[in-house]
Amino acid sequence: MHYKKTGEKMIPASTWIGQRDLTGYTIVVTGANSGLGFITSCVFACLGANVHIGVRTKTKGDETIQQIVEYVNEHEPGRALDVQKRLFAHYVEMSDFASVRAFCQSFQQPIDILVNNAGLQANEKKTTKDGYEMTWQVNYLSSTFLTTKLLLPLLQQAGKDRGKRAKVINITSGMHKMVKDLDLEDINFDKKEYDHTEAYTKSKLAQILNVEYYTQVELPPSESPTSPLFYGIIPGPVKTNIYRQENGFEQPPWDGFADRPSPDEAAYPIFVCALEDYAAPGSLLAVPDGREDTKSDLAQDMDLAKSLWNYSIDATG
Ligand SMILES: NC(=O)c1ccc[n+]([C@@H]2O[C@H](COP(=O)([O-])OP(=O)(O)OC[C@H]3O[C@@H](n4cnc5c(N)ncnc54)[C@H](OP(=O)(O)O)[C@@H]3O)[C@@H](O)[C@H]2O)c1
């Protein structure tokens, strides 16, 4: 498989298997039952980490743990003996702040790596019971802002205990560059007509602005040696379940779908970010090899990042 933009060869995340020992590390991955979240959980399990998966239901949790066990048996049998004891399912519905709070309260232990991955693109305008447009709440308010804020003490604790900073990794998109205006006053599409691509791209821009704000204002790395580091990941187009009708996409197969990179190939930058220490705090890492990608001007607008931060504190209570 070749990376379409450059023609370069993709590098599977599974290349990391056998390359690191994460015994004793605690990793949290949301949206872990499918696509990028699933393969990320599998590879972390192969590296010996304790992997906590965020999924919507117990059935999905049980099935996913079974599938991760099978993956480890097949790809890293040497780690298979204790894998069942290193996998933990937590339940979360990201369209509901109460569920996000309960999810975050279910963690007691220091967290070394948080992968904010759960996401969707609502095909039509839907309003959550908290009163927000669905894509905005799931992808940004819940899956990024509130989850990170509530797990922050445990991320800080890991930095203190291990003497090595924790990492927060937001799975965002190059499509953030399509946003011309992050109009927070009509982010719920109450006045203008709903557009699913617009809703999606705004949520992805907000994930990057959150990285910017933490890195430059809230927790600058220079001011605390133990605070977590924040990053965004640009996986490129990936062959996953996100491409389905309820997400506003034509149901595959369609021309070119089969040629898209697999989740294994697209997840590589997540591991560069998690396992290497050379990426500048606050950067966006992209396929195929975890190189730094560019941010749109809006994604670097610190006034906007501050407005979004203040808005998000009010919105999530
Ligand atoms: N695929 C791409 O081309 C692409 C490109 C750039 C960025 N991304 C980003 O990559 C991330 C992972 O997506 P994917 O492509 O791997 O898609 P996917 O296979 O559809 O996985 C999405 C995950 O998010 C979970 N999720 C969705 N809505 C949720 C909710 N309300 N509460 C809790 N969990 C929820 C899904 O759970 P269920 O299975 O229960 O729905 C699933 O586990 C997303 O943030 C997406 O925006 C994807």
What is the 8-class DSSP label of residue 277?
A: S
| Alpha carbon of 136 to ligand 1 centroid (Å) | 13
Torsion angle of alpha carbons 260, 28, 43, 17, nearest 10°? Answer: 130
Bond into 253 cis (ω within 30): yes
Residue nearest to atom 35 of ligand 1 (CA): 118
Give the per-residue pLDDT at 255: 86
Q: What is the three-class DSSP state of 127?
A: strand
Give the per-residue pLDDT at 249: 84
As given in the structure block, the two tokens for residue 266 are 């697209």
Task: State the alpha helices, DSSP H only, in 50-146.
Answer: 58-75, 97-105, 134-135
Give the per-residue pLDDT at 254: 87
User: How many other CB atoms sit within 10 Å of the CB of residue 9?
Assistant: 11
pLDDT digits (tens, 9 = 90+) for 269-300: 999 999 999 999 999 999 999 999 999 999 99
Give the per-residue pLDDT at 19: 97
Give the per-residue pLDDT at 146: 98
Shortest-distance atom of ligand 1 to CA 95: 31
- Does residue 10 line the site of ligand 1, with CB under 6 A? no
Shortest-distance atom of ligand 1 to CA 94: 32
Identify whether 3 is part of a domain: no
Share above pLDDT 70 across residues of the chain, in percent, rounded to a whole number: 99
Cβ contact 118:207 at 8 Å: no
pLDDT digits (tens, 9 = 90+) for 78-106: 999 999 999 999 999 999 999 999 999 99
- Does residue 34 line the site of ligand 1, with CB under 6 A? yes
Identify whether 20 is part of a domain: yes
Extended strands (E) in the chain: 26-30, 50-55, 87-91, 113-116, 167-171, 229-234, 284-286, 291-293
Give the per-residue pLDDT at 36: 98
Identify whether 197 is part of a domain: yes
- Does residue 227 line the site of ligand 1, with CB under 6 A? no
As beta bridge partners, residue 171 has 233
Measure the CA–CA gap between 244 and 45, rounded to whole angstroms.
Answer: 28
Note down the domain range covering 179. 13-316
Buried b (16+ CB within 10 A) or exposed e, 99-113: ebbebbeebeebbbb
- What is the secondary structure of 103-124 as a DSSP string? HHHT--S--SEEEE------SS
Identify whether 5 is part of a domain: no
Identify whether 144 is part of a domain: yes
| Alpha carbon of 226 to ligand 1 centroid (Å) | 30
Number of domains in the chain: 1
Distances 249 to 21, 89, 123, 246 between C-alpha atoms, Å: 39, 29, 8, 7
Burial status of residue 63 (CB atoms within 10 A of its CB: 0-12, 13-18, 19 or more): middle
- Does residue 119 line the site of ligand 1, with CB under 6 A? yes
Identify whether 1 is part of a domain: no
- Does residue 92 line the site of ligand 1, with CB under 6 A? yes
Identify whether 97 is part of a domain: yes
Identify whether 124 is part of a domain: yes
Q: What is the CA radius of gyration of the chain?
A: 18
3-state helix, strand, coil in the chain (%, to 5): 45, 15, 40
Mean pLDDT of each 10-residue bin along the chain, 317 residues long: 78 98 98 98 98 98 98 97 97 98 98 98 97 98 98 98 97 98 97 97 98 98 95 95 86 87 97 97 97 97 98 97
User: How many other CB atoms sit within 10 Å of the CB of residue 192?
Assistant: 10
The CATH number given to whatever domain includes residue 282 is 3.40.50.720
Prediction pTM value: 0.98
